[in-house]
Amino acid sequence: MVRFDFNPKQFGRLGFALAGLLAASCTGSIEMMGAGAGTVVDPGAAPANKPPQMTGTGGAGGTTQDPPPPTGIPSAVCKPSVSVSTPIRRLSRREYNNTVADLIGDKTAPAAGFPPELITTGFDTAADASMLNEGIVDNYLDAAQVLAQAGAANLPALLGCDPATKGEDVCAGQFITGFGRRAFRRPLTPEEQGRYQALYAATKKTAGFATSIELVLRAFLLAPQFMYRVETGNQPGPRPGLLKPTPYEMATRLSYFIWGSAPDDELLAAADAGRLATAEQVAAQAQRLLAHDNGGRLIRSFYGQLLGLGRLADLSRGPLFSARLASAMQQEIDLYFDTMIRKRKATWPELLTSPVGFVNTDSAPVYGMSGVSGLQLREIARPADRYRGFLTMPAFLTMRALPNQGSPILRGKFIREKILCQHIPDPPPNVDTKLAPADATTTARQILEAKTQTVQPCMTCHTLLNPPGFAFGNFDQIGAWNVTDAEKRNIETGGSLEGTDVDGTFKGHLDLIDKLAKSEETASCVGKVWFRYAMARMESVDDGCIQRDLLETFKASKGDIQQVLLKLVTTDAFLYR
Amino acid sequence: MKLSRRTMLRGLGGVSVALPFLESAGTVFGAAGQAPKRVVFIFSSTGSVRKNWKPATVGPNPAPTPILKPLCTPELKPYLTALSGLNMDAGGGVNTHLEGMATCMTASQNKGDFASGISIDTAIGKNFKGVTPFESLQFGVNTRNPPNGFGDSFITYREKAGGGVEGLYPEDNPITMYGKLFANISANGAPSPLMVQQLAQNRSVLDFVIDEHKRLAATLSGADRSRLEEHATMIRNLEQRLAIVNTTCTKPKQALTTVGSTSAGSNVRPIAEMHMDMIAAAFACDLTRVATLQFSTGESALNWDDVDKSLNFRASGTSWWHGISHQPVNWDPTTATGNDRDALTAITGIQAWFAERIASLAMRMKGYTDSDGKTVLDNSLIVWVTEVAEGNHRMSDMPYTAVGNLGGALKSNIHLAYNKRQHGDLFATIGTAMGLPGFTTFGRQGYSQGPLTDWLA
């Protein structure tokens, strides 16, 4: 028999970082308590101001007055975007790995062992450069050295130029120009070109050609223009206060958003030619990047982080759980989102409810299937009486579990925070979070309910958290289906959803998922979380128009995620600084 | 074969030739016949079992206890010290694992689960800036395991440029650490002309990059500008290592050449063993005077079954470290029954496992002859710390174990019992015994009273 304590910091630094955004009590901090009920109309919102002009679907463009916020979208008080400072941003570990893979073909993920980013928005796109310390700088020095050595070991491939026929200095000059352009995401200035040429020339004298190229490459990989994204574009935007990033900065925004990496030649050529000036041109490039093989990186990165799947293989989940099973689970959910969104143009309700699954020999038993052989994943239609969408996938359920049982609190919290975009504060400090074990007379649910849903300070939040968590009670710590608990009792998964726009009773997880698929709150949450990922910041009241436009696009496309993404890159927040 | 940047540092070890770009760092070893003093901190999480740890009698030659038994061998018993009765009150406020981690090496007041002062390892280490290539070294085992951000906290903190403190992550990957410390060190330490040339090249690239940071910084303003200037300063600091002359060093055998997931339970022991090889060798080579070896984190999700199946920690129904630590209601092994007894047995087994690791580290250090003809262990101290006394989050009567006596500066083979003294005093004693300035107290004002004088020899 086991007793668990639920720590206030289930979400660690994320919770800590967001603490400033959370009010002290649950009642005060859950936004959008019900359709319309929580609407806050900012009396200061100036209706005469034009909404953003750059619009695709949604129809807001060109109107001279803001339409009233669509009913049931409490937070969408439309205020036109204002300039938001864009501090220099150091590449995240993921971005660093992708970039060196694309630039020099190194797929060893050298930044994987660097210290993790401080996460403030739920995503690593907002990696905060202020977290810099000597340890990280040391990591960069080591990585650049190893990368440069490996790169220079295959000089012909690195240079793309034959020094024997063209001359060493010509090849070096071409390398500095060409590699510099990719690494700095823009053409080098003449001064930069000159400095790198000088470094090359000085080293060549003492160490020879190959070593000098290696050192130049190392210098590029350690250059601030490579490690940091710097935006300086200051041409006026469509409204006072908004500035246009340079075409190269726009190319960089696009490629780091969608590929998590530096722009390719085509994108840089578009910037050269001034073909990233309009929303349509930006959207067209976004569409190209998304359809490219590297486009899958965005889907994997976004949903991996939204679902917090990073450490799946390291979890302890009992004797049936293994690194191979973790790998199959991870591959399934990656493949699910990528296939559904990029290949099948899935809508959000489809992502929540699709029977599509992918199994191999390791993961088939979790779904109760036998006779599946091989490590290659194959597509299956999961039985509809148990499985519906990604919330019933083993990767998600295993992540939101304890070592020996599923966790209703973690699952409920995920639905509240990541599907409904509500804020649930951590338990107050010093609250006793120990739970007695289930026994012959009392179920785990009864114990948790008695402990958290009958007394303050627990019950305000847990009344909201627990029911959607209990709905998944049939799924154990590896997402396998259990009809009964250890005492052979049926597991009670029904409950009542409160504080949403789809309140009411539900019979179990299938019923709950169907409710969520119809919820406009989840629709608006889709826009919010994508906004946080793409803009590397939390949305503010000044982003009201954008939130509204994203929701309009969502509704017009019935929740087509690709359409939402294309809309996102044409919002003021993406196009201007 | 190419030599790494690190190689250059270490490869020049033992050189007395004057090279134009090498600033002499003075004698790395102390005055003739005096070996340097070193200290290593071992952190293991979730506490101990008081009654199975604490020796029954106070004073010299304490009898073995279930937890300390591995350190009571004839070779090691003369070095063993148990310090009981010290309280860890300086953190203040909330007392749980993460807060305990923040204060366990800093003795500072917590800000949330973050410390407000520097930790004892960096406090000692900063005295050796420019003397040893590394002011301090932080080794980790399974410190990034926790899911959902559990236990994502620091035990090592150092001063931050511009004020305040910053947390330092330990390095979990022993191969990375090996490269950092020992890659390509030549056995005899004589620098070839090639090594000298490559050292110069390494410096030229870093100088170039530092200039690039400053140049770009000058075009920016405010926080962006200072961020890049800070970055340049950090590269400059790291570059300083290229100028430090090191002593002749025999590198340890590289026990692992590949390592899978550093978070896998099955890797805990092999990684720990390799880290300990390196700690002992780093001391013998005088690469540093202080090291920290951190085992997991306060809310560790490690399953002990994955570490060592023979230990059979599942007797109590789970082998989940943090989980087990919270099971006992009755913490007295003499009266505990049923689930309580099983859990106490499991925790005691884990603690004895750590005592075994510490014993093997001590024996490694005993295997190196120091510059004064004694062993490295003779001139060192191993200190075992944790973030809570027991899994019930008690922060009083902490179970501190030490092995070594810093060249006779401390008493050993003794159980010292205290009343109303604080764990900052333990650290003040260590700094003082190493002969370092600034250790009249350690940590939060009003808590530490100063060195434990009865421990000083």
Q: Under an 8 A CB cutoff, do A16 and B112 touch?
A: yes
Give the distance from residue A63's alpha carbon to the nearest chain B alpha carbon, in angstroms: 38
pLDDT of res. B183: 54
More confident residue, A113 or B426: B426
Residues of B in contact with A202 (CB under 8 A): 204
Indicate whether B49 and B100 sit together in one domain: yes
A543 pLDDT tier (thresholds 50, 70, 90)? confident
CA distance B342 to B350: 12
What would the mean pLDDT of B133-137 be, rounded to a whole number? 91
Indicate whether B171 and B59 sit together in one domain: yes
Residues of B in contact with A132 (CB under 8 A): 227, 230-231, 234
pLDDT of A166 strictly over 60? yes
Q: Is B100 on the interface with A (CB under 8 A)?
A: no
What would the mean pLDDT of A512-530 be, rounded to a whole number? 94
B285: in domain: yes
Give the distance from residue A389's alpha carbon to the nearest chain B alpha carbon, in angstroms: 22
Residues of B in contact with A228 (CB under 8 A): 216, 228
B213: in domain: yes
Q: Under an 8 A CB cutoff, do B234 and A149 touch?
A: no
pLDDT of A187 strictly over 70? yes
Indicate whether B158 and B197 sit together in one domain: no
A52 pLDDT tier (thresholds 50, 70, 90)? very low
B105: in domain: yes
pLDDT of res. B312: 61
pLDDT of A518 strictly over 80? yes
pLDDT of res. A48: 31
B415: in domain: yes
pLDDT of A191 strictly over 70? yes
Considering only the beta carbons, identify the residue of A2, A206, A403 that sits closest to B197: A206
pLDDT of A66 strictly over 60? no
Give the distance from residue A513's alpha carbon to the nearest chain B alpha carbon, in angstroms: 23
pLDDT of A159 strictly over 50? yes
pLDDT of B161 strictly over 90? no
CA distance A232 to A235: 9
Give the distance from residue A316's alpha carbon to the nearest chain B alpha carbon, in angstroms: 6
More confident residue, A74 or A156: A156
Residues of A in contact with B216 (CB under 8 A): 224-225, 228, 230
Convert the pLDDT of each residue in B81-104 to its tens digit. Answer: 999 999 999 998 666 788 899 999
The percent of residues in chain B predicted with pLDDT above 90, rounded, is: 53
Rg (CA), chain B: 22
Q: Under an 8 A CB cutoff, do A313 and B261 touch?
A: yes
pLDDT of A321 strictly over 50? yes
pLDDT of res. A77: 56
B298 pLDDT tier (thresholds 50, 70, 90)? confident
Residues of B in contact with A323 (CB under 8 A): 261, 264
pLDDT of res. B32: 45
Q: Under an 8 A CB cutoff, do A16 and B208 touch?
A: no
Structural domain including B206 reads 1-19+190-245
The percent of residues in chain A predicted with pLDDT above 90, rounded, is: 57
Q: Under an 8 A CB cutoff, do B212 and A223 touch?
A: yes
Q: Is B393 on the interface with A (CB under 8 A)?
A: no
> Environment class of residue A42 by beta-carbon count within 10 Å: exposed (0-12), middle (13-18) or buried (19+)?
exposed
pLDDT of B332 strictly over 50? yes
Considering only the beta carbons, identify the residue of B149, B224, B237 that sits closest to A134: B237
Considering only the beta carbons, identify the residue of A141, A195, A314 that sits closest to B145: A314
Interface with A, mutate which of B99, B122, B208 (most A CBs under 10 A): B208
Give the distance from residue B457's alpha carbon to the nearest chain A alpha carbon, in angstroms: 37
Q: Under an 8 A CB cutoff, do B204 and A203 touch?
A: yes
pLDDT of B21 strictly over 60? no
The percent of residues in chain B predicted with pLDDT above 70, rounded, is: 83
DSSP strand E in B304-413: where?
Answer: 380-385, 398-404
> Environment class of residue B307 by beta-carbon count within 10 Å: exposed (0-12), middle (13-18) or buried (19+)?
buried
Give the distance from residue A70's alpha carbon to the nearest chain B alpha carbon, in angstroms: 36
Type of residue at A269: A
Q: Write down the residue that tokens 């005295």 correspond to.
A: B127
Indicate whether B13 and B72 sit together in one domain: no
CB crowding B182-207: b at 16 or more within 10 Å, else e:
bbbbbeebebeeebbbbbbbbbbbbe
Strands B380-385 and B38-44: parallel
Give the distance from residue B348's alpha carbon to the nearest chain A alpha carbon, in angstroms: 18
Considering only the beta carbons, identify the residue of B204, B238, B327 that sits closest to A134: B238
pLDDT of res. B10: 34
Q: Is B148 on the interface with A (CB under 8 A)?
A: yes
Convert the pLDDT of each residue in B252-263 to its tens digit. Answer: 888 887 787 788
Of B245, B269, B289, the residue at which a domain comes to its end is: B245
Give the range with max mean pLDDT: A5-9, B139-143, B161-165, B404-408: B404-408
Per the structure, the count of domains in chain B is 2
Residues of B in contact with A145 (CB under 8 A): 4-5
3-state helix, strand, coil in chain A (%, to 5): 50, 5, 45
Convert the pLDDT of each residue in B385-395 to its tens digit. Answer: 999 999 888 89
Give the distance from residue B71's alpha carbon to the nearest chain A alpha carbon, in angstroms: 31
pLDDT of res. B3: 35
pLDDT of res. A74: 42
Q: Under an 8 A CB cutoff, do A133 and B168 touch?
A: yes
Convert the pLDDT of each residue in A477-488 to its tens digit. Answer: 999 999 998 888
Residues of A in contact with B97 (CB under 8 A): 7
pLDDT of res. A206: 87
Residues of A in contact with B306 (CB under 8 A): 316
pLDDT of A228 strictly over 50? yes
B324: in domain: no
pLDDT of A76 strictly over 70? no
Q: Is B164 on the interface with A (CB under 8 A)?
A: no
Indicate whether B172 and B81 sit together in one domain: yes
Interface with B, mutate which of A4, A11, A137, A325 (most B CBs under 10 A): A137
Considering only the beta carbons, identify the residue of B148, B224, B263 that sits closest to A410: B148
Contacts of B287 (CB under 8 A, 6+ apart): B10, B132, B133, B134, B137, B181, B246, B249
- For chain A, give the mean pLDDT: 83
Convert the pLDDT of each residue in B190-204 to its tens digit. Answer: 555 666 677 788 889
pLDDT of res. A122: 86
Domain residue extents for chain A:
12-41+401-518, 50-86+244-291+550-577, 89-229, 295-399
Q: Under an 8 A CB cutoff, do B145 and A311 touch?
A: yes
What would the mean pLDDT of B40-68 be, rounded to a whole number? 96
B31 pLDDT tier (thresholds 50, 70, 90)? very low
CA distance B83 to B306: 31
What would the mean pLDDT of B235-263 be, rounded to a whole number? 72
What would the mean pLDDT of A312-341 be, rounded to a whole number? 90
B71: in domain: yes
Residues of B in contact with A404 (CB under 8 A): 318, 320
Indicate whether B428 and B279 sit together in one domain: yes
Q: Under an 8 A CB cutoff, do A9 and B320 touch?
A: no
Q: Write down the residue that tokens 């650290």 correspond to.
A: B427
Closest chain A residue to B298, measured at CA? A7
More confident residue, A435 or A8: A435
Considering only the beta carbons, identify the residue of B147, B209, B317 that sits closest to A311: B147
In degrees, rounded to 5, the angle at the alpha carbon of residue B391 between the alpha carbons of residues B385 and B392 is 125
Q: Do A58 and A48 touch, CB atoms closer than 8 A?
A: no
pLDDT of B436 strictly over 60? yes
pLDDT of B27 strictly over 80? no
Indicate whether B89 and B148 sit together in one domain: yes
Indicate whether B219 and B302 sit together in one domain: no
pLDDT of res. B239: 81
pLDDT of res. A158: 93
Contacts of A196 (CB under 8 A, 6+ apart): A176, A180, A188, A216, A219, A220
Count of helices and strands (H, E) across chain A: 25, 10
Residues of A in contact with B298 (CB under 8 A): none
Structure tokens at B85: 């009765």
Q: Do B427 and B452 touch, CB atoms closer than 8 A?
A: no
pLDDT of B43 strictly over 60? yes
Residues of A in contact with B320 (CB under 8 A): 316, 403-404
What would the mean pLDDT of A209-238 be, rounded to a whole number? 93
pLDDT of res. B243: 54
Interface with B, mutate which of A2, A124, A232, A399 (most B CBs under 10 A): A2
Convert the pLDDT of each residue in A398-445 to its tens digit. Answer: 999 988 889 999 999 999 999 999 888 877 766 777 777 788 889 989
B286: in domain: yes
Structure tokens at B410: 């401390």
